[in-house]
Structure 1
Amino acid sequence: TSIKHLQGWTLQGIVYLSPTDWSTIYVNVGKKSKFPTLKDRYSTTWGNRTPSPDISPESAINYELGAKFDYESTHFSIAAFYNDINDMLISVSDPTNSCLNGSQCSKLINAKEGYAYGAEVSLKQGFLDEKIVFSANYTYTEKKATSYGVDGSRILDYPNHIANASLLIAPLKQLDLIGLATFQSKQWYLLGSTRNPTGYAQNNDIFLLDVKLNYCPIEALQFSVGAYNLLDRNYYYGSGYYQPGRRILAGVEYKF
């Protein structure tokens, strides 16, 4: 039995430029390798996956350009990135049906070429001596395997848009109100079960809203009331895996 020799290397370089005391611009270029694990190469995942002992390491050259600005109570950052990926590990159907189940088999392969690109932006702004603080961030990502048909372009569990926003209001030292909003766009997932996948599907966009009120009469004692998931009662990331619904909480915390 022959043993495949796996190798790869990692190297990264970053250049920073600070044109003012409150701003920084940077360029980041890096080469990285991801080795397949023993599970990737030999696991049958309960019989429905054909082992792939000969898959190669995934590698990528990552390029990132970004800027950060910190001026008094304003904090802002923005970045754009592009990843040139080789030998991307993806899961595809195995037409030979060589898995233990004998039908509806999948297999890990290397898609010779792929790419990912996107941008990130974040903002944190304080008002009235930090009695009101607004924070927000947004990430856009696109990822594809370009050298393997339609199935290869369906990157699983990978939303294109993710956004978060929070608002902290603290009119008194002992009292603060916190609101958190989260958005995540739809993503591909497998229909059926891990043991018996039957196809692909997409979930719905997800929008969540949480609120919480904290009151601290003394430093060591805190009373809290709040609610989670006010707007999306039945959200899910994959078929049959519904997340917790609306929840209301009340608590008392004492630190000693």
Structure 2
Amino acid sequence: LDVDLTEADRFTLAAHYRRDKHDEYQQGFPSGFTEPHQGNLEDTFSIAGENRLSLSPAWTLTLGASYDWRDLKKAEEYGAPPAGGPSVLFSYPIRNAAAFNWQGRLEWHPNEDSELHASVSRRSRFPTIFERFSTQFGTAASNPGLEPERSTNFEIGGSRQFGVLRAEGAIFYSNIDDAIVSVRPAGSPANTTTRRNLGDAEYYGAELSLTARFGSTLELGANYTYIHRRFDIMPQVGVTIPAFELTDVPTHKGFAYASWSPTPRLRIVPNVDIASDRTTLTTAAPPVYYRTGSYIQANIRVDFDILDNVTIGVGAKNLFDDYYVLVDGFPEAGRSFFLSFQY
């Protein structure tokens, strides 16, 4: 729902609903016994409002807020109950949750070629059904009372047109409270963990993008992102904290491309994707963290408009057939070719 309160003031209201449903049962071997049906059912609701106010021709203030709540209706499991005993069909305690989120953004447009902005927000993430209830084939214990993760985020950025060159950049900082981590409570088997809100994280970095267009035939572009991450786990009496490192995100990442159109219907787009090494985790016991190594990947794509609304494309990825890994045990594809058709 959008409402123009005045010529300079616009209010937006939105509502969202989601239902998560999970049903399972499995047959055991060699006994052949089939578990009784188990189900999880949960509704999530959200209502949000945003107000965009033009303070002057150059200044704009945007404020928004949302309220989210989660209604867990059913959470069943077959196995030994938390209190102990033989395997039975049982229900976990029903725990609901709610969160208030807000954000604000101030923009300044001194002229048509320039823009500066600053923003701050507070956001929440509800733990999933998997995070709360999955036993992960006997290696995890459930935690129905797991709370939402919460983050406070800041960003300052802007853009500027310098003739044929457009530059965009931003610096950002995020602090995460009540981050979800896996720990081993006292008395638990060595291979069993449970998730708790014991983490505290800090992310900060910067990003820069440059784009230059030379007439109607050639465009050059590049972007770079730097991100630093810190993650601490709060000690707790009676809890063993396994070795833990943040995974999957490189500290440095860049991308560069050229788009050349020698004719109005033909586009040739080579590009280079660059990333520093990142941390991954082995799946073997005991798990080991290690760095995957950096990579530089060259790719190319050629598109031709055979008709005004029909395009055929060919291309190749990882032109130099480099070997690189992002996640332990899953090497990325080597040199590959593709053909596409778009209508």
- TM-score under structure 2 length normalisation: 0.64
> Superposition pairs for residues 1-256 of structure 1, below 5 Å?
3-70=94-161, 73-92=164-183, 94=184, 96=186, 98=188, 102-127=189-214, 129-148=215-234, 154-192=245-283, 198-216=287-305, 218-219=307-308, 222=311, 224-249=313-338, 251=339, 253=341, 255=343
Deviation at 1:174, TM superposition (A): 2.8
What per-residue deviation string (whole Å, max 9, x for no partner) do you get for residues 81-123 of structure 1?
Answer: 111211112335x26573xxx5433432323532111111111
Higher relative contact order (CA 8 A, sep 6+): 1
Tell me the amino acid that sits aligned with residue 203 of structure 1: T
Distance 1:52-1:199 versus aligned 2 partners, 3 A rule: farther
CA contact (8 A) 2:282 2:329 kept: no
Distance 1:206-1:2 versus aligned 2 partners, 3 A rule: same
**CA distance in structure 1 between the aligned counterparts of 2:288 and 2:187, rounded to whole angstroms:** 15
CA contact (8 A) 1:206 1:232 kept: no
Tell me the amino acid that sits aligned with residue 113 of structure 1: D
Deviation at 1:223, TM superposition (A): 5.2
CA contact (8 A) 1:60 1:86 kept: yes
Report the secondary structure of 2:267's partner residue: strand
What per-residue deviation string (whole Å, max 9, x for no partner) do you get for residues 131-180 of structure 1?
Answer: 11011111111222234489676112222222111111112213221112
**CA distance in structure 1 between the aligned counterparts of 2:342 and 2:226, rounded to whole angstroms:** 41
Deviation at 1:2, TM superposition (A): 5.6
Tell me the amino acid that sits aligned with residue 138 of structure 1: Y
What per-residue deviation string (whole Å, max 9, x for no partner) do you get for residues 187-241 of structure 1?
Answer: 2222125xx5622222111221101233445545655443210135322211211
Report the secondary structure of 2:136's partner residue: coil
Q: Unaligned 5+ residue runs, structure 2?
A: 1-91, 236-240
**CA distance in structure 1 between the aligned counterparts of 2:96 and 2:317, rounded to whole angstroms:** 50
**CA distance in structure 2 between the aligned counterparts of 1:2 and 1:107, rounded to whole angstroms:** 16
Query: Which segment drifts farther, 236-245 or 71-80?
Result: 71-80
Tell me the amino acid that sits aligned with residue 262 of structure 2: P
Distance 1:63-1:219 versus aligned 2 partners, 3 A rule: same
CA contact (8 A) 2:181 2:199 kept: no
What per-residue deviation string (whole Å, max 9, x for no partner) do you get for residues 38-91 of structure 1?
Answer: 211111223222323333211111111011224554322111111121111233
C-alpha RMSD of the superposition: 2.7
Q: Unaligned 5+ residue runs, structure 1?
A: none
Deviation at 1:11, TM superposition (A): 0.3
Report the secondary structure of 1:9's partner residue: strand
Q: Structure 1 or 2: larger strand share?
A: 2
Structure of higher CA gyration radius: 2
Report the secondary structure of 2:322's partner residue: coil
Taking only the aligned residue pairs, the percentage that are identical comes to 25
CA contact (8 A) 1:122 1:138 kept: yes
**CA distance in structure 1 between the aligned counterparts of 2:242 and 2:204, rounded to whole angstroms:** 19
Deviation at 1:30, TM superposition (A): 0.5
Query: Which segment drifts farther, 60-69 or 231-240?
Result: 231-240
Query: Which segment drifts farther, 77-86 or 135-144?
Result: 135-144
Distance 1:30-1:111 versus aligned 2 partners, 3 A rule: same
Report the secondary structure of 1:146's partner residue: strand
Q: How many residues align?
A: 247
